[in-house]
């Protein structure tokens, strides 16, 4: 096992770092946007130009033949600079398009950035599930129509297409909806025409693989955000003075910074490993769940402590550390939260004596 | 980045697994696995079997039995040894004094001590802490005064683990009380425990066991040739040693073994109509520990732990810190699984209680030491905050 980046991976990281720096949100005084960002076409075009949008997919299906490892490298740079995009969601949707085997034209448009296809997975007032959808699909003649509501679907206002899991008489299937009519982040479909992408026999595996890719993408982004939150905190402890001395003179603060560092390094190992593991085994649900647990816990720890160790300034919208924490809070609850993933893992503790990472 | 083991490493792992699970004597493994106080005979026997197989001191220089393995191979070796419940080489020999003598000792000291240290023909113990020098180790007061070709040692050491079995002690002694900094006047001395003036007194711990001791030195005469490296330079050797010790105390394989045992135990404890392993809160706790131990193991593989070029790598503090915490968390879990059966510590005839329930609480209590020894976890945080993060307090 080897955790060191190849020269190509390092080059990708530098390119992503430059891109992220160019498109990083401006902070400062005045009315700073908070919370989830809208889709930014300029950032998205730049990501398409560097090849980020097709990275993990094979070349013969329109991708660039890299893997989740490269995706997590790009995502980490976005996370570190606080650049919020629909990267993880778009990769989930693209993965489903690729799995369908019937959408090569659209996959091409997705990777060159001319189409934005997003998955509509979450439902109002319903806990996360990747195996349940109350959206219903029915056949009218040889055409499919969908009815039901998905919400919130972030950035959906900019989407050209949606990928929607919906219930058929034979079980859960995945459909493609073009130019959806939306209101805010709500997708309410009423007998809306749709194209069948994946029938019920192929849906569970395809959804699991797609969500795993989304999980590792967000884990990479979280890693970058945690890296940034810790280094900002350390810098602040060195420069901010109280009682006439820098904050780093107080062990009650530096000991906590050390704990943040330890958490971060364990999460880093986990994310890098998960990316490598999912590159080889895209359907490994256990590593995806373990990553969600480790990164979720760590994001909470580092995000909360970053604000606390900054004090009041960490609460302000003009300073970025709070935005990083907000993003980590969102990431923790996307594609299932640690509790749900722990419940999944708890159900399978009998299946192995030990977790084996070396094979 | 590459997740898969190379063919060479996969073969290496198989070779280690075969040796530890097929060649190594089962009865020693069974006794070690059962836990509790382990006799010195098993530790000695184990180390000699390992040494004969070339597996006692693989991280030493090759001319003294080292193997020149990669960090990953070292991890695989430790992991397979620990998960197979093979008693590891005595840390005082293999991980502490051996590497110090190999790195800083004269050729004469190396030839005299290293082979006997590797084979546990000499059982070493550690003379570092003193009653008034714990985390503030450099304030130690045991003195060594030069008298002709000898050093005369006076003072007291404490927390000397397994000192009751030891033949020799490696001790930090103050050789220059007038040095400008307290770190500067310290030397690293090798002392035969049978020298007149050495007294060992046991300290009983909260688990009832006798594991640590006080060691008293009353005008103990030590040949000058038994001073390692240069006089007054002992502090840097001690830091080198502590860096190695921190890696040794992140026993990922042992933690995994115990966590697997915890599942086996939980499946035998009846609860309602099923067993404790059916309890969703308990199984979630096990699952979470598995996640955390996985993260620790991956980190152990990823960071180049241990001392390099004579200096401790501060990253080894991560392993010490999280390794000790997780070790303690797993042992705490076992006490919880034992439940009311764990309230009884003593062995007696005609019991329906299983031996692991009897040992659960004492073992848990015993391992509260893990976050104190080898540089307390607060000291590790200090090492991380100043050495890695640059927060100078």
Kindly report which listed range (A66-75, A130-139, A176-185) carries the lowest average pLDDT score: A176-185
Q: Side-chain half-sphere of A325: how many Cα atoms within 13 Å?
A: 22
DSSP B13-62: HHHHHHIIIIIS-HHHHHHHHH-SPPPHHHHHHHHHHHHHTT-S-TTS-G
pLDDT tens per residue across span B331-360? 999 999 999 999 999 989 999 999 999 999
φ, ψ (nearest 5 deg) of residue B392: -90, 110
Mean pLDDT of B199-225: 96
pLDDT band at A275 (very low <50, low <70, confident <90, very high): very high
* CATH number for the domain whose boundaries are B124-232: 2.40.110.10
Question: Which domains are seen in chain A, by residue range?
Answer: 7-115 (1.10.540.10), 118-200 (2.40.110.10), 205-351 (1.20.140.10)
User: Which residue is it, tokens 């008293």?
Assistant: B216
Strands B124-127 and B168-174: parallel
Q: Which of B83, B291, B391 sits opposite A248 (nearest CB)?
A: B391
d(CA B211, CA B97): 19
Q: Which of A169, A171, A181, A71 is nearest to A120 (CA)?
A: A181
A257-266, A286-295, B92-101, B308-317: which has the minimum mean pLDDT?
Answer: B308-317
pLDDT, mean over chain B: 94
What would the mean pLDDT of A108-113 be, rounded to a whole number?
Answer: 96
The confidence band for B247, taking pLDDT boundaries of 50, 70 and 90, is: low
Instruction: Please indicate whether residue B120 or residue B313 has the higher confidence score (pLDDT).
Output: B120
Angle between helices A104-111 and A87-100 (to 10 degrees): 160
pLDDT of residue A22: 97
Task: Say what the pLDDT of residue B393 is.
Answer: 82
Q: What is the pLDDT of residues A140-192, one digit of tens each?
A: 999 999 999 999 999 999 999 999 999 999 999 999 999 877 889 999 999 99
Spans of all domains in chain B? 7-89, 124-232, 249-388
**What 8-state DSSP symbol labels residue A281?**
-
A258, A268, A294: which to substitute to probe chain B, counting the most B Cβ within 10 Å? Answer: A258
Nearest to A67 by CA among A285, A209, A276, A357: A276
pLDDT reported for residue B248? 52
Given a cut of 90, is residue B307 above it in pLDDT? Answer: no
Contact residues on chain B for A267, CB-CB shorter than 8 A: 295
Contact A6 B1 (CB under 8 A): yes
CB contact under 8 A, B295 and A266: yes
**A276 touching B (Cβ < 8 Å):** yes
Whether A354 contacts chain B with CB within 8 A: yes
pLDDT of residue B374: 84
According to DSSP, the residues that pair with B233 across neighbouring strands are B186
Per-residue pLDDT band at B245 (split at 50, 70, 90): low
Kindly indicate the confidence band of residue A62, based on its pLDDT and cuts at 50, 70 and 90: confident
Over residues A25-34, the mean pLDDT reads: 82
Q: Does the annotation mark B292 as catalytic?
A: no
Which of the pair, B250 or A243, is modelled with greater confidence? A243
Give me the CATH code for the B249-388 domain, please.
Answer: 1.20.140.10
Confidence at B377, pLDDT banded by 50, 70, 90? very high
Cβ separation of B315 and A265 shorter than 8 Å?
yes
């Amino acid at each position: 096992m080897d955790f060191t980046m190849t020269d190509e991976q390092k080059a990708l990281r530098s390119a992503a770092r430059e891109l992220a720096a160019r498109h990083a949100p401006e902070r400062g005084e005045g009315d700073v946007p908070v919370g989830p960002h809208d889709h930014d076409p300029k950032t998205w075009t730049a990501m398409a130009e560097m090849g980020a949008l097709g990275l993990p997919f094979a070349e013969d299906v329109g991708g660039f033949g890299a893997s989740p490892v490269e995706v997590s490298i790009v995502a980490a740079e976005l996370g570190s600079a606080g650049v919020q995009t629909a990267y993880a969601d778009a990769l989930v949707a693209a993965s489903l398009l690729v799995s369908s085997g019937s959408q090569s034209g659209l996959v091409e448009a997705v990777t060159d950035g001319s189409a934005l296809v997003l998955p509509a997975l979450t439902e109002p007032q319903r806990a996360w599930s990747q195996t349940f959808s109350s959206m219903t699909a029915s056949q009218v003649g040889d055409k499919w129509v969908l009815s039901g509501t998905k919400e919130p679907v972030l950035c959906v206002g900019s989407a050209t297409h949606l990928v929607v899991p919906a219930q058929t008489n034979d079980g859960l299937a995945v459909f493609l909806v073009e130019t959806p009519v939306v209101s805010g982040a709500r997708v309410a479909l009423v007998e809306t025409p749709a194209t069948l992408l994946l029938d019920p026999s192929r849906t569970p595996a395809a959804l699991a693989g797609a969500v795993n890719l989304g999980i590792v993408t967000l884990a990479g982004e979280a890693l970058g955000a945690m890296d940034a939150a810790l280094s900002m905190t350390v810098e602040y402890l060195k420069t901010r003075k109280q009682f006439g001395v820098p904050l780093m003179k107080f062990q009650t603060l530096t000991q906590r910074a050390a704990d943040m560092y330890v958490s971060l390094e364990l999460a880093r190992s986990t994310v890098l490993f998960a990316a490598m593991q999912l590159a080889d085994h895209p359907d490994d649900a256990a590593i995806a769940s373990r990553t969600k647990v480790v990164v979720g816990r760590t994001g909470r720890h580092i995000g909360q402590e970053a604000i606390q160790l900054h004090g009041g300034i960490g609460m302000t919208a003009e300073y970025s550390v709070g935005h990083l924490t907000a993003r980590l809070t969102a990431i923790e609850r996307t594609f299932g939260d640690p509790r749900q993933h722990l419940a999944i893992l708890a159900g399978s503790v009998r299946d192995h004596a030990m977790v084996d990472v070396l094979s | 980045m590459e997740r898969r083991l190379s063919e060479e490493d996969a073969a290496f792992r198989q070779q280690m697994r075969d040796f530890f699970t097929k060649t190594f004597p089962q009865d020693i493994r069974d006794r070690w696995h059962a836990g509790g106080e382990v006799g010195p005979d098993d530790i000695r026997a184990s180390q000699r079997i390992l040494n004969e197989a070339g597996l006692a001191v693989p991280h030493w220089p090759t001319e003294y039995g080292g193997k020149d393995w990669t960090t990953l191979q070292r991890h695989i070796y430790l992991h397979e040894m620990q998960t197979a419940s093979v008693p590891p080489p005595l840390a005082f020999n293999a991980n502490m004094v051996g590497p110090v003598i190999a790195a800083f000792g004269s050729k004469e000291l190396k030839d005299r001590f290293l082979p006997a240290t590797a084979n546990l023909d000499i059982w070493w113990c550690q003379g570092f802490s003193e009653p008034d020098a714990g985390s503030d180790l450099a304030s130690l007061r045991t003195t060594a005064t030069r008298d002709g070709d000898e050093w005369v040692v006076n003072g007291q050491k404490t927390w000397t683990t397994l000192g009751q079995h030891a033949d020799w002690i490696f001790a930090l002694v103050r050789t220059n009380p007038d040095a400008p900094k307290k770190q500067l006047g310290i030397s690293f001395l090798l002392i035969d425990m049978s020298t007149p003036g050495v007294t060992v007194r046991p300290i009983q711990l909260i688990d009832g066991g006798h594991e640590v001791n006080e060691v008293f030195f009353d005008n103990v005469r030590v040949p000058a040739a038994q001073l390692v490296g240069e006089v007054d330079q002992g502090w840097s050797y001690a830091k080198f040693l502590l860096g190695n010790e921190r890696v040794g105390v992140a026993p990922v394989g042992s933690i995994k073994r115990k966590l697997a045992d915890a599942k086996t135990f939980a499946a035998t404890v009846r609860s309602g109509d099923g067993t404790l392993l059916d309890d969703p809160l308990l199984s979630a706790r096990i699952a979470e520990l598995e996640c955390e131990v996985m993260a620790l193991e991956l980190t152990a593989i990823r960071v180049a732990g241990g001392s390099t070029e004579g200096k401790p790598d501060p990253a080894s503090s991560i392993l010490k810190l999280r390794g000790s915490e997780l070790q303690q968390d797993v042992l705490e879990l076992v006490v919880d699984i034992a439940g009311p059966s764990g309230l009884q510590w003593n062995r007696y005839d005609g019991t329906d209680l299983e031996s692991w329930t009897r040992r659960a609480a004492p073992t848990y209590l015993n391992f509260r030491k893990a976050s104190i020894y080898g540089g307390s976890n607060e000291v590790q945080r200090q090492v991380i905050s100043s050495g890695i993060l640059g927060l100078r307090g």
